[in-house]
Structure 1
């Protein structure tokens, strides 16, 4: 079984997956991409690497009983996709605290309000394979417990349950 944990930067993916009780291996995909140079170049405007999705898919191909964590995790084969959600204002603050530019923090907050990652996850995997978890007012331990519940089959799919469109007004 392969589970993807995805979401806009700043939603708590890395923190929560580091606390999982599951025996599944956690793959922090962004680290793998950097370390193995699974890229096609650099986006100078955004100051980011451009991921080679085919190379990553090939690297992931034979891995089972894993949790794949990244804002890109929903782009790859998975039995279930967990989309971590968080209030855009909180994302913006967290990204500022990490040293992201105001423009980048705002762009990510707007993407969260527009359900960009959720939409891609549903498009790629179908509603019946997508689970939303709102991390805004939850501790990392509580979020990890929710992820563990999905892995254990104790939680129903829940795509479309979180709404942050008020942020855009």
Structure 2
């Protein structure tokens, strides 16, 4: 079974994934290291991903867990969308050096459920986990519950529209 862990940048994907089984692909690192992008977006200080090359790379390896804010764009039997209140998310991003514009853009995307909606458009089994007030080990425990089929799909339970 392949699991995708996704969410807006700053929701805790990488931190939680580091506490899981060793077969976790941190897709952003792979994209950067293997050059699986077509260009860089200097305005956003990011790379424009080559989805076809990235999909081919994933198909060759068939990892169990893929972690990235892009993971929901690829094949997976289950998708975990990590969520975080936009105010806290914005603070986290600023603390790790993101620009004010980038932090605000991501906070608004989180309030608007952008990644959740994208995941639901492509996948049937989507699980939302609110990380706002949880430590990484509690988030990893919830992800393990998804892997063990101890949790039912849940989407639409988290509402951050108060931020808007």
How do residues 34-113 of structure 1 correspond to structure 2 at under 5 angstroms?
A: 34-64=32-62, 66-113=64-111
| Residue of structure 2 in register with 1:17 after alignment | 17
- Return the TM-score normalized by structure 2: 0.97
Residue 14 of structure 1 aligns to a residue whose secondary structure is helix
Q: Distance in 2 between matches of 1:19 and 1:145?
A: 9
1:63 CA displacement: 3.2
Q: Which runs of 5+ in 2 are unaligned?
A: none
| Residue of structure 1 in register with 2:132 after alignment | 136
Q: Distance in 2 between matches of 1:148 and 1:62?
A: 25
| Residue of structure 1 in register with 2:152 after alignment | 156
Q: Which runs of 5+ in 1 are unaligned?
A: none
1:65 CA displacement: 5.0
Q: Distance in 2 between matches of 1:65 and 1:46?
A: 29
1:17 CA displacement: 0.5
- Return the TM-score normalized by structure 1: 0.95
- The number of equivalent residue pairs is 164
Aligned residues of 2:25 and 2:63 also touching (Cα < 8 A): no
Give me the CA root mean square deviation. Answer: 1.0
| Residue of structure 2 in register with 1:124 after alignment | 122
Residue 61 of structure 1 aligns to a residue whose secondary structure is helix
The list of structure 1 runs, each at least 4 consecutive aligned residues, that deviate by more than 4 angstroms after superposition, is none
